[in-house]
Structure 1
Amino acid sequence: MRHQLRYWLAVAAMVGSLGLISGCAGDPPDPRIKFTERVNERLATAYQPTHNETAGWDATWQLDQQAVGVTWLAPATHARLPLIIYLPGLGESSSGGMVWRKAWAQAGYAVLSVQGHAYDQSIFSSRQALDGDFRGLASSDYSAAALRDRLSTLQAVLTEVRTRAAKGDAQLAAIDWNQVVVAGFDVGAQTAEALAGALEPDVVSGVVIEPEALLLLSPYVEAGARRETFARISVPVLSVTGEADEDPFNWVSSYRQRQMLGESVKEAGSIQLELDNATHKTLSGTDLLHRPMKKADKGDDASGSASKGKGHKHGAKSAGGFHGPTGEPAPDPKQVAAIQAIAVAFLDSRIKHDSAATQWLQKDAPGWLGAAGRFK
């Protein structure tokens, strides 16, 4: 039990996305310290998975004349590992979702995050973004053509992963291709849904991956979607949304639209988690808290580069990994803890068939969640 408690202590240290940064003399107190303590307190009473030390890397691969961000994070072992393919949201790099990816890797999963350059943070330098036409930008990037492009990119990455593994890459060779989960946030959730059969077969033709489960953060449901579309999904799904899950592009009009997916999936073992205060940014798991800005920091975004605010002043709301304006409510520690704990328990139950995880989900999780949300 002691090593399991150390797991959540380590995960909680990542809640500030990249860990705590020691403050310099004269800096205001770092709010992540108190936030981490509150998340840690909450997680200590939840399901306790095993703990693994992790190792990883970030890279840009040139595939089919396209730049693709690829990020790897996994237990530091050569044992066979279940694979989680993580697909970040629109405007995020492959390093998005760090809070969730770190938790999954420490729980014993290899996590491969993939994001094509056409959908990463470079979108905010596009003409549409600079002109403030965020709905137009979303219209293009959520289209069927864009979805096919992302699926093609993912297949190219998976082919390259297998090639590198066959050539002796010990980390990639550890992947158990019979235990694959696809997780996605925002536009990444749309891609994940397609891989699980939520769209017509011709959309995903050529993609060689059969996920054992889906983990959807802010699931994508287009206007006018029919429930039968999501009833086609034949693997267990964890779907996470809530009343504050507002699309920064105003493309999905209401969180109730997102609810349809979780309500329509029929596969046994599926869960819909509805959180009261988890914003779209919280669901991203990216840069949940920033250090208070010093004078020298003003005008810079979270990565330290100059913020291009010209387009954002026209209306895109701040969201996970987005370089938009400030004003997003501070994340709720209970909501962050809920996503971490329930996601890891779901993975352990459905992929590792861990009876303790299954029992916690069925008997203890609803009561543990309490007033933070609803568990279905």
Structure 2
Amino acid sequence: MNLQPRYWLAVGALVGSLGLIAGCAGDPPNPRAAFSERVNKELSTAYQPSRYETAGWGATWQFDQQAVEVAWLAPVTHERLPLIIYLPGLGESASGGVAWRKAWAQAGYGVLSVQGHAHDPSVFASQQALYGDFRGMASGHYSAASLRDRLSTLQKVLAEVRARAAKGDPQLAAIDWNQVVVAGFDLGTQTAEALAGALEPGAASGVAIQPRALLLLSPYVDADARPDRFARISAPVLSMTGQQDEDPFNWVSSYRQREVLGESVTVAGSVQLELNSATHKTLSGSELFSRPAKKADKGADASGDAPKGRGHKHGSRPGGGSPMAGEPAPDPKQVAAIQAIGVAFLDSRIKHNPAATEWLHNGAPGWLGEAGRLK
């Protein structure tokens, strides 16, 4: 019997397998994993909160033909849960802010993220976005009418959450409605500020919650905002911005404008974090580690040319797509700062944890070092 063909088939298979193993062994380190390790190393020297396993879900709820994305993330525990209502930025889904929502849930908070379809990633398919007119696009979303719609949507979602909790949903039934925090990024901060009474008087009267604290990432402050508007806020505020917090929609002209809110809040226990190199995308907490876009991807059509007929406005990408797309990975210390100070603020103001208060007041400034400053 001639075994030679069978022998060489076996040898070929072995060589192929060894090649695959060698290829895997020679793979470069995963940059995403390396980035996470650097963030965790920074966090290891910061405030140490309780840590829970988490579970969650995402869904689309319908209200009068309106689609609303809802995402829930919470610790796996039988304890009553303080609730954080998270409101994503313009052009994000309810899964936005995942880095922060995960940190809050692991620290013992139930996190409910809400985003209406009118403000989700589909906005980047609009004609204004396709022509790079992101400022024009943003103007409609930041309008008073849009704000009222978002507040109405949130009211419906919270009513549905309460109804499901009353029917025995084991996760939603654990919510402590006397311990509610409202958090937001970008467009979401406008809604959060309205809920706290800082914008239109009575605008949020239909939303049956009284925030115990606000956590604002890249807070919204319009150009003609009077400081006394933010003095109406009656809950402690953590506002976070920084020198690189450049609005990609060119709607808020500078981070100095955003700082007006933090400087105007008068409630005891309020904190403003100014970061040195956190970009708008860093503050979003969404897809923090992504490769920079290739040149051919930056607004070029199939021929490699940008669309004609409109200028390339500041912060925009001709040809559509998110104006924050393609940014390099952020500084791990900046990410760790947002996470650590956010959790310490929550534990101090909501759980009244003395260790969190001590670190926030005395440990955090030194830990931040050159990454930023607390005011």
**Structure 2 Cα separation of the partners of residues 72 and 157 of structure 1:** 12
**Structure 1 Cα separation of the partners of residues 203 and 26 of structure 2:** 55
TM-score (norm. length: structure 1): 0.86
Q: Which amino acid aligns with 1:68?
A: V
Per-residue deviation at 1:117? 0.2
**1:203 aligns to what SS in structure 2?**
coil
Percent identity at matched positions? 74
Cα distance change, pair 327–313 in 1 and its aligned pair in 2 (3 A): farther
Partner of 1:332: 331
**2:203 aligns to what SS in structure 1?**
helix
User: What are the within-5 Å matches in structure 2 for residues 293-304 of structure 1?
Assistant: none
**Structure 2 Cα separation of the partners of residues 134 and 255 of structure 1:** 18
Cα distance change, pair 62–316 in 1 and its aligned pair in 2 (3 A): farther
Q: Which amino acid aligns with 2:46?
A: A
Cα distance change, pair 123–27 in 1 and its aligned pair in 2 (3 A): farther
Q: In the alignment, is the contact (CA less than 8 A) between 1:318 and 1:326 conserved in 2?
A: no
Per-residue deviation at 1:359? 0.6
**1:102 aligns to what SS in structure 2?**
helix
Per-residue deviation at 1:207? 1.4
Cα distance change, pair 51–64 in 1 and its aligned pair in 2 (3 A): same
**Greater C-alpha Rg:** 2
Cα distance change, pair 325–207 in 1 and its aligned pair in 2 (3 A): closer
Per-residue deviation at 1:31? 1.7
**Structure 1 Cα separation of the partners of residues 134 and 370 of structure 2:** 34
Partner of 2:360: 361
Partner of 2:133: 133
Q: Which amino acid aligns with 2:358?
A: Q
Q: In the alignment, is the contact (CA less than 8 A) between 2:49 and 2:107 conserved in 1?
A: yes
- Which stretches in structure 2 are left out of the alignment for 5+ residues? 1-22, 299-305
Per-residue deviation at 1:315? 4.4
User: What are the within-5 Å matches in structure 2 for residues 81-120 of structure 1?
Assistant: 81-120=81-120
Cα distance change, pair 99–313 in 1 and its aligned pair in 2 (3 A): farther
**Structure 2 Cα separation of the partners of residues 88 and 327 of structure 1:** 19
**2:171 aligns to what SS in structure 1?**
helix
Cα distance change, pair 35–310 in 1 and its aligned pair in 2 (3 A): farther
Q: In the alignment, is the contact (CA less than 8 A) between 1:86 and 1:184 conserved in 2?
A: yes
Q: Deviations over 1:275-333 (max 9, x none)?
A: 0000000000000012689x9xx969xxxxxxxx96999447489xx634755243000
Per-residue deviation at 1:116? 0.2
Q: In the alignment, is the contact (CA less than 8 A) between 1:220 and 1:258 conserved in 2?
A: yes
**Structure 2 Cα separation of the partners of residues 77 and 366 of structure 1:** 32
Partner of 1:352: 351
- Which stretches in structure 1 are left out of the alignment for 5+ residues? 1-22, 301-308
**1:204 aligns to what SS in structure 2?**
coil
Q: In the alignment, is the contact (CA less than 8 A) between 1:281 and 1:318 conserved in 2?
A: no
**Structure 2 Cα separation of the partners of residues 313 and 36 of structure 1:** 38
Per-residue deviation at 1:79? 2.1
Q: In the alignment, is the contact (CA less than 8 A) between 1:58 and 1:71 conserved in 2?
A: yes
Aligned-pair Cα RMSD in Å? 2.5
Partner of 1:190: 190
Q: In the alignment, is the contact (CA less than 8 A) between 1:28 and 1:292 conserved in 2?
A: no
Partner of 1:215: 215
Partner of 1:229: 229
Partner of 1:78: 78
**Structure 1 Cα separation of the partners of residues 287 and 202 of structure 2:** 36
Q: Deviations over 1:155-180 (max 9, x none)?
A: 00000000111111111100000000
Per-residue deviation at 1:27? 6.7
Partner of 2:12: none
